[in-house]
Structure 1
């Protein structure tokens, strides 16, 4: 009987200690994350080390520590810890994929691009659904000036996670570098659908406005002329166009700028932008023959916006980063339209894993 009481007391004490450890670990993790978010990476690492002192195999603390090490440019230690995480039996697929991403990114930051690519490829084989491995692989390719390979990886990232903000943003930027304006416009606009509040959203809107509004100029004779990009005037061969080839509408898009400029001259900036954007999306809605990434991801979405008559509210939504007061007034005055946009876009089923 006495032995049973001692055993019961020991078990209760053990449970109490375990409960205290769990609470302590939770608090330390929160403090570590807060330090990391404040850029105090050394302090964050100390907090994670305290967690590992309690539970040496705490895989989330290991990952967060590797992330802080990476941010503080302690690449060697970040790599070593990432390799430990990958071998851990407690690492699920998400943690394992993140560990491969940190390992590859650390190599990339050290200038070892080829080895980074090999790490990403190994990670993709082990965790095929992790889009961040494709995204980071794209960044490495772009740093190597292998633009087409980078674009392919960005598209692969979005095929796995169609709402990944950075992939949309980088695809827009990369297509713009290639002077493929229409192919740049769609990912930039999709980015702004998903994020219209951040500093990066301001940058994205700036590019969209330049693409949508930028080429029409009024002359001294009170007429408009338009600057046509060389890409819009390229001769088309007999080969089937690439999925991201929108030369068929580029000329119409750029010529339409002069006509739209004369129609919208007296409008407020947000209304002028909405009018021009409506013309662009109408052209996109009529596009056929794109059987690859753009044809399966972007064009159906913009076609849907056009068919549901949601383009105007979409235009005002993505114009929000401008901080334009009259745009905010329009949004407040058209709450029903904005709610229709919100409901439709939230219900929209993007193609890809899990969508």
Structure 2
């Protein structure tokens, strides 16, 4: 949460949006922020405590103090100083929202998720366009196994900031927990495109590959078996796609028997998935179809799926993928250019 409105808060410290600030107060707040950004949280607290002697109710100062205590895992004090901001008179809505968010995070860490959810919702009411509030709310709900509510919050986070990798990742795991393979795959593909080379990317890639291969097995006589089962016996808008994923994976497995590499099989199964979904969309009109399916179907039509699959395969430490990327830098550049143009 520390990055939220930092520039605004700095300007507020200078201009004194809530109360007129002395030069001494301004300097101490700036010095405290610098110490915080350097990871010296105790030093920041000491500087803020010194500034409190000049103005105990200053909202910017109390907010920064709450943040410093939260960073030190001193949750009671983080809540205490957040409440000073929340209850203060004339506090800007964006700063009050941030204080609610800090309090919510502290409550969640104290094992009080229900109270945290209430605080996040208060924060969102004050700052409805701040994506991180929705993400943090979604994370708290996910940890409570309230997957439908978590999905709603995370979808909003993605809509507000499509470049926030963590929102796509958690949304993918949320749908996986609901047994919704297609939606989970789409969100994980998007996450890996944004963050292909991290520890959590390696885990997400492995989960993606496992889900792709789910229900497809090979017997001793090299015959391929496909076991298609819809989650909890329910029919939904992705039922047809569920069946096609398994069939396309079986086809990819057959191609591997004929000499196709693992990377080539991954490319082909991904291309088939995105193509099938695009053809199935027709008049479907939901977030999943309009956001993820449209994006990946356009990716197929742009003929950059191959570059994308090799690009995200590097998360697993795949040397073949890395070698391909080194040999085809122009294709990666073309993918990047297409992505930037698509998201304008």
TM-score range, shorter chain: 0.7 to 0.9
CA change 1:198–1:48 in 2 (3 A) is farther
CA change 1:147–1:272 in 2 (3 A) is same
Deviation at 1:51, TM superposition (A): 6.8
SS of 1:225 mapped into structure 2: strand
Larger gyration radius, structure 1 or structure 2: 1
SS of 2:38 mapped into structure 1: helix
Aligned to 1:335: 329
Which of 1 and 2 has higher RCO (CA within 8 Å, sep 6+)?
1
Q: Is the 8 A contact 2:31 2:47 kept in 1?
A: no
CA change 1:133–1:22 in 2 (3 A) is closer
Once residues 205 and 137 of structure 1 are traced to their aligned partners in structure 2, the CA distance between those partners, rounded to angstroms, is 25
CA change 1:23–1:45 in 2 (3 A) is closer
1:109-128 correspondence runs (5 A): 109-128=109-128
CA change 1:290–1:103 in 2 (3 A) is farther
Deviation at 1:193, TM superposition (A): 1.0
Deviation at 1:22, TM superposition (A): 7.1
SS of 1:196 mapped into structure 2: coil
1:242-291, CA deviations, whole angstroms, 9 ceiling, x for partnerless residues? Answer: xxx31111111112221111113433332332222112111122231431
Q: Is the 8 A contact 1:98 1:132 kept in 2?
A: no
Once residues 113 and 312 of structure 1 are traced to their aligned partners in structure 2, the CA distance between those partners, rounded to angstroms, is 43
1:273 to 247, 266, 276: 266
Deviation at 1:60, TM superposition (A): 6.1
SS of 1:210 mapped into structure 2: helix
1:85-234 correspondence runs (5 A): 85-86=85-86, 87=88, 93=94, 95-231=95-231, 234=233
Gaps of 5+ in 2: 1-21
Once residues 301 and 187 of structure 1 are traced to their aligned partners in structure 2, the CA distance between those partners, rounded to angstroms, is 11
Deviation at 1:102, TM superposition (A): 1.2
Once residues 21 and 121 of structure 1 are traced to their aligned partners in structure 2, the CA distance between those partners, rounded to angstroms, is 32
Deviation at 1:53, TM superposition (A): 7.1
Deviation at 1:161, TM superposition (A): 1.9
Q: Is the 8 A contact 1:100 1:123 kept in 2?
A: yes
Aligned to 1:284: 277
Task: Give the TM-score normalised by structure 1.
Answer: 0.79
Q: Is the 8 A contact 1:28 1:50 kept in 2?
A: no
CA change 1:90–1:33 in 2 (3 A) is farther
Matched, 1:347 2:304: no
CA change 1:158–1:324 in 2 (3 A) is same
1:116-147, CA deviations, whole angstroms, 9 ceiling, x for partnerless residues? Answer: 22222221221111122222222332333322
Deviation at 1:212, TM superposition (A): 2.4
Aligned to 1:314: 308
Task: Give the TM-score normalised by structure 2.
Answer: 0.81
Aligned to 1:246: 238
SS of 2:222 mapped into structure 1: coil
Q: Is the 8 A contact 1:29 1:47 kept in 2?
A: no
Aligned to 1:30: 34
CA change 1:68–1:24 in 2 (3 A) is closer
Aligned to 1:73: 73
CA change 1:133–1:249 in 2 (3 A) is same
SS of 1:286 mapped into structure 2: helix
SS of 1:264 mapped into structure 2: helix
Q: Is the 8 A contact 1:62 1:85 kept in 2?
A: yes
Once residues 52 and 195 of structure 2 are traced to their aligned partners in structure 1, the CA distance between those partners, rounded to angstroms, is 36
Gaps of 5+ in 1: 1-16, 350-354
Once residues 30 and 215 of structure 2 are traced to their aligned partners in structure 1, the CA distance between those partners, rounded to angstroms, is 55
Deviates more, 1:123-132 or 1:52-61: 52-61
Q: Is the 8 A contact 2:132 2:157 kept in 1?
A: yes
